[in-house]
């Protein structure tokens, strides 16, 4: 009997407060980072530093003015052979970490560019479909005894925990753009894209909590809690864009693009069913039995919220490129995103974010090029505050890309990888004011190809 009390007392203190579940329910998609997926065949290798280049179909994303400097009609596409995302929440359940992992494959970009000189000299059009974020999570976790909160007379232990999560999310776009070359040095461009957000999650949790009288070494209360939550977010918006690009001498170009749109429709729904079964009896209870008196507390919540996201964040990109020689290109970007804090769902609110990217391209031979880049992928959620509960996590990523390209006069193919690492804080426990350290990684192995028409 004493061994049970001793076992409880030696376990690291479990600081979480149980409400309807142990972990915050409803797995959520990552709309808070804007560089989870790098768009475009050539731009991937440059770490997304492409605003002052953008002379292929991916200009519909980076800068519609850049497509006016395209050398030929082309069709391009990129695909991810494999991607994996991992978030490690430190010491969430007692001294145990909680890890969430998602993986899968998807095609992030397909674009077509066409020179329209036969209609208007200097005019170029482009069309593209691409994905800016996606996630597939299918998780099943079980823990035995994971923690205890103790006083001088009682110990309350989380003696078992089970969680299953399924999450499917996608943020996709269809875009068109037109670029017009006003002179040999200056071009202007306009674009329009649709944005479609589709997220669906299912989160089931079951936990058992025992209260032990340390003096009598008897279990005086047992609470088993069940929680099942289904959440869905759907939104559709349109975003017009404007861009300009200018050559400064023979070796330098600068570019700027701006995008600001609005949601046409958006809705968030959540359905939750919870059940708490409490058994307690302080009389003749041993540590190997559960109390006899029982009560059940069911709860059902159905919520539907319009305007959950509020506004669409606006975006301003500024880039510069140095064509040092026929073999070497160096480019850099700054990207600013507006806040979106007017939505009706608190955890979907986003602050302003500034990201940067730098990239280089070097031709080892006329047919083989190496592209490398570095970039930031900062979190748009607010920084966490000590002593407050119910906060969303915050993790800032930085990443790098390395791609190898094989280039022929009318086509090219490239392959490589994008790696991201991040650190931050989280609050995974429902009802707790405690902050946990969180580390994240996102790995993408991809390939891309372009063919001139």
pLDDT surpasses 50 at 2 = no
pLDDT surpasses 90 at 103 = no
**Cα distances (Å, whole numbers) of residue 198 to 59, 170, 381:** 25, 5, 20
**Cα distances (Å, whole numbers) of residue 266 to 22, 220, 234, 235, 308:** 30, 48, 6, 4, 7
- pLDDT grade for 29, boundaries at 50, 70 and 90: low
In contact, 23 and 16? CB cutoff 8 Å: no
In DSSP terms, 247 is beta-bridged to 253
pLDDT surpasses 70 at 145 = no
- In terms of Cβ atoms closer than 10 Å to its own Cβ (0-12, 13-18, 19+), residue 336 is middle
Which of 164, 53, 100, 135 is CA-nearest to residue 439? 100
173 Cβ contact list (under 8 Å, min separation 6): 61, 128, 129, 130, 131, 132, 193, 194, 195, 196
Task: Give the pLDDT of residue 358.
Answer: 98
Which of 260, 294, 302 is CA-nearest to residue 277? 294
Q: Cα separation of 423 and 437, whole Å?
A: 8
- Residue with more model confidence, 355 or 136: 355
Q: How far is CA 136 from the centre of its chain?
A: 11
Task: Give the pLDDT of residue 329.
Answer: 98
Return the C-alpha torsion angle 93, 94, 97, 101, nearest 10. -10
User: Based on C-alpha coordinates, what's the Rg of the chain?
Assistant: 27
Q: Cα separation of 227 and 273, whole Å?
A: 6
- pLDDT grade for 292, boundaries at 50, 70 and 90: low
- Sorted by where each starts, the structural domains of the chain and their CATH numbers stand as 2-452 (2.40.160.60)
Residue with tokens 């006003």: 182
Task: Give the pLDDT of residue 83.
Answer: 86
- pLDDT grade for 11, boundaries at 50, 70 and 90: very low
pLDDT surpasses 60 at 287 = no
pLDDT in tens, 198-243: 999 999 999 888 888 888 777 888 888 899 999 999 999 999 999 9
Q: Which of 111-120, 131-140, 185-194, 434-443 has the lowest mean pLDDT?
A: 131-140
Q: Cα separation of 38 and 292, whole Å?
A: 58
pLDDT surpasses 60 at 17 = no
**Cα distances (Å, whole numbers) of residue 185 to 188, 190, 283:** 11, 17, 89
Task: Give the pLDDT of residue 427.
Answer: 87
Which of 449, 307, 399, 319 is CA-nearest to residue 34? 399
In contact, 358 and 47? CB cutoff 8 Å: yes
Which of 334, 369, 373 is CA-nearest to residue 355? 334
pLDDT in tens, 324-366: 999 999 999 999 999 999 999 988 999 999 999 999 999 999 9
In contact, 159 and 12? CB cutoff 8 Å: no
Q: What percent of the chain lies above the pLDDT cut of 90?
A: 58
pLDDT surpasses 90 at 430 = no
- pLDDT grade for 68, boundaries at 50, 70 and 90: very high
- Residue with more model confidence, 94 or 166: 166
Range among 35-39, 88-92, 335-339, 386-390 rated most confident: 335-339
pTM of the model: 0.88
- pLDDT grade for 286, boundaries at 50, 70 and 90: low
Q: What percent of the chain lies above the pLDDT cut of 70?
A: 89
pLDDT in tens, 151-185: 778 888 877 789 999 999 999 999 999 999 999 89
pLDDT in tens, 360-388: 999 999 999 999 999 999 999 999 988 88
pLDDT in tens, 235-269: 999 999 999 999 998 899 999 999 999 999 999 99
Task: Give the pLDDT of residue 288.
Answer: 56
pLDDT in tens, 382-406: 999 888 888 889 999 999 999 999 9
Q: Cα separation of 252 and 132, whole Å?
A: 29
């Amino acid at each position: 009997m004493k061994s049970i009390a001793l076992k409880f007392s030696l376990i690291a203190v479990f600081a979480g407060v149980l409400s309807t579940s142990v972990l915050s329910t409803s797995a959520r998609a990552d709309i808070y980072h804007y560089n989870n997926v790098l768009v475009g065949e050539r731009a991937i290798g440059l770490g997304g530093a492409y605003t002052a280049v953008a002379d292929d179909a991916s200009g519909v994303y980076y800068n519609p003015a850049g497509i006016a400097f395209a050398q030929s009609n082309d069709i391009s596409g990129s695909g991810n052979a494999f991607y994996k995302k991992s978030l490690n929440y430190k010491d969430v359940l007692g001294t145990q970490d909680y890890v969430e992992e998602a993986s899968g494959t998807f095609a992030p970009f397909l674009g077509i560019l066409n020179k329209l000189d036969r209609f208007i000299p200097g005019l170029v059009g482009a069309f593209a479909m691409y994905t800016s974020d996606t996630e597939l999570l299918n998780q099943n976790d079980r823990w035995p005894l994971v923690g205890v909160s103790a006083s001088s007379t009682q110990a309350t232990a989380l003696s078992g925990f089970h969680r299953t999560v399924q999450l499917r999310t996608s943020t996709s776009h269809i875009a068109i753009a037109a670029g017009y070359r006003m002179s040999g040095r200056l071009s202007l461009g306009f674009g329009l894209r649709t944005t479609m957000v589709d997220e669906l999650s299912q989160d089931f949790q079951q936990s058992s909590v025992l209260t032990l009288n340390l003096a009598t070494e008897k279990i005086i209360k047992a609470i088993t809690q069940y929680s099942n939550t289904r959440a869905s977010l759907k939104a559709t918006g349109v975003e017009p864009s404007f861009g300009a690009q200018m050559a400064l001498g023979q070796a330098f170009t600068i570019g700027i693009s701006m995008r600001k749109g609005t949601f046409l429709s958006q809705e968030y729904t959540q359905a939750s069913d919870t059940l708490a079964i409490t058994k307690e009896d302080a009389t003749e209870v041993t540590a190997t039995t559960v109390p006899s008196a029982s009560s059940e507390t069911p709860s059902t919540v159905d919520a539907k919220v319009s305007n959950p996201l509020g506004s669409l964040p606006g975006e301003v990109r500024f880039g510069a490129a140095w064509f040092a020689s026929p073999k070497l290109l160096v480019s850099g970007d700054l990207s600013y995103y507006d806040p979106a804090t007017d939505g009706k769902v608190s955890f979907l609110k986003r602050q302003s974010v500034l990201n940067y990217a730098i990239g280089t391209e070097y031709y080892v031979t006329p047919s083989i090029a190496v592209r490398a880049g570095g970039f930031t992928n900062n979190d748009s959620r607010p920084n966490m505050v000590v002593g407050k509960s119910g906060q969303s996590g915050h993790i800032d990523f930085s990443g790098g890309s390395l791609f190898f390209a094989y280039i022929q006069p009318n086509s090219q193919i490239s392959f490589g990888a994008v790696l991201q690492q991040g650190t931050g804080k989280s609050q995974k426990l429902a009802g707790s004011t405690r902050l946990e350290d969180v580390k994240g990684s996102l790995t993408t192995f991809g390939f891309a190809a372009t063919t001139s028409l």
